[in-house]
Amino acid sequence: MTVYNVKVKWGKEMYPGIELDTGEPPMVFKAQLFALTGVQPHRQKIMLRGTTIKDDSWADVKIKDGTMVLMMGSKEEDVPVEPTERTAFIEDLSEAERNTMLELPVGIKNLGNTCYLNAVIQCLKTVPELHSAIKEFKPKPPGTEQESSSLLTLAVDSASLLTLAVQECYKTMDDGKTAVPLVLVNLFRTTFPRFAEQGEQGMYMQQDASECWTELVRLLMQEIPADGPEKTSKEFRSSLIDQYFTGEFSCEWKCVESEEEEVTKTTDKFQQLLCHISQDVKYLHTGLVARMQEQITKKSATLDRDAVYTKKSKISRLPAYLPVEMVRFFYKEKEAVNAKILKDVKFPMVLDVYELCTPELQKKLIPNREKYKDMEERELEEERAKKRGKPITAVEKPKTRSLPFSFEDDQGSSNSGFYQLQAVLTHQGRSSSSGHYVSWIRWRGKEWLKCDDDDVTPVTEEDILKLSGGGDWHCAYILLYGPRILEVLEEEEEENKQKSSEEAKMETE
């Protein structure tokens, strides 16, 4: 494996000092050029000494420092589209073309045991703030302005390249085309070598989707800046992930073995809640509550030895998006495998975590929570009207508007404690390193989609609720809950604003 500094010529542009690592596939080099030029990797043709470089190997290519590499290709928007019209028969269309015609989203091609990554990418795509930020992402130029002329030609760091690869994947899907994530998969395995593990036959092995989720979110935390940081609590404004995915625990530690030792308080950040599955856990809420109190052994300053502590946690900051991992896997030493707990654990479409919060946060949540009762009554009346055969028409339906789901001084937080399920990542099989991963995403209202790699099909809410486990069918592994949007009547909201304004005026006087 050797790293060379080469020159890249693209049209009239010249890029000296580009890093070319022959230990990585050429697709990684193409990703670097994409970061510099904006030319999508699949549109690039790389030539070296008259030889066209293939995507998978640098074999038989002689390279040395200063070698000239020719890149041919243009940005997609520069290519004129030839207007053509021809009759299309649905049976002749590909899966992606049929989905486009039926207005269904498209999926992601499985490149050989990459379903774990595909499922994570699909679930995260359901977060509109993150989706938009990734599509608008631009890597930061390295160094200062004085250095940029020379440093711009160096390889962009792997985190930025990987974020650009996710961006390319999302743009392709948004254009109605099935994503073929060659660059994404290669960069992911290069950035996180443990995901490049190969079996006896040289095939890439299946990986744990939860570990993939954790690594990808951690990387995006480094790359995606906060959205309006001045509107966010200072502890959560370092990145968009901090804003919208990070919560905070307020913890109390009590030493079980010493009455003299005082209770200590700490705070911990989290980006997902855990639901440990035991014999007593039949419902998600039960598992979450049980997790809030645990026994931990640590060094006691009073006893000058390890002692058992009771740690009680309450949530002091709720993020807008709340991933919940069902802890379904445990390590079996004898078989050396992460075995799976198949137990059926029911989960709700609407999750209420008010009980898990500190008294201070509960007090802040109450004013917004009370407004949901009116919305629920309106929805219930609409359901009753449908059952009576007299659904409420668009003319009869009162005008409503959506209220913000965050506190005014903490953008990206939850101001109610109510969440709506918007994506489920499931596993089918008996161990985390085998079987198959699939994502299930909320599409429109109560309509859902099953995203099985590049096969995307409509499903119902009833199908989603069947993912709770109990057998060899798909079992929920990660549940992604998003903000439950509050819809209020426009007339009532105007009255409330006027009333609040009058009360404020009276207080001033």
| Known active-site residue 436 | yes
- Judge whether 163 and 124 are in contact, CB under 8 Å: no
The one catalytic residue among 255, 436, 474, 475:
436
Q: What is the 3-state secondary structure (H, E, C) of 121-160?
A: HHHHCCCHHHHHHHHCCCCCCCCCHHHHHHHCCCCCCHHH
Query: Which pLDDT score, from 0 to 100, does residue 146 have?
Result: 40
The one catalytic residue among 115, 123, 255, 357:
115
- Strand pairing report for 3-10 and 68-72: parallel
Query: Which pLDDT score, from 0 to 100, does residue 84 have?
Result: 46
Residues of the chain with pLDDT under 50: 78-85, 87-90, 101, 144-155
Question: Residue ranges of the domains in the chain?
Answer: 3-74+94-143+158-204
In one letter, which amino acid is 18? Answer: I
| CA 476, chain centre distance (Å) | 16
Query: Which pLDDT score, from 0 to 100, does residue 245 have?
Result: 98
Query: Which pLDDT score, from 0 to 100, does residue 17 have?
Result: 82
Spatial separation of the C-alpha atoms in residues 368 and 107, rounded to whole Å: 37
Residue 461 tokens, joined: 């809410």
Query: Which pLDDT score, from 0 to 100, does residue 155 have?
Result: 45
- Strand pairing report for 68-72 and 264-270: unpaired
Query: Which pLDDT score, from 0 to 100, does residue 153 have?
Result: 36
Residue 81: DSSP 8-state = P
Q: What is the CA radius of gyration of the chain?
A: 26
Which CATH code fits 3-74+94-143+158-204?
3.10.20.90
In one letter, which amino acid is 254? Answer: K
Query: Which pLDDT score, from 0 to 100, does residue 497 have?
Result: 58
Interhelix angle 182-191/209-223, nearest 10 degrees: 90
**What is the b/e burial string over 219-240, where b = at least 16 CB atoms within 10 angstroms of the residue's CB?**
bbbebbebbebebbbeebbbbb
What digits encode the pLDDT tens for the residues 348-357? 999 999 999 9
For the entire predicted model, the pTM comes to 0.80
Nearest to 16 by CA among 36, 39, 38, 40: 36
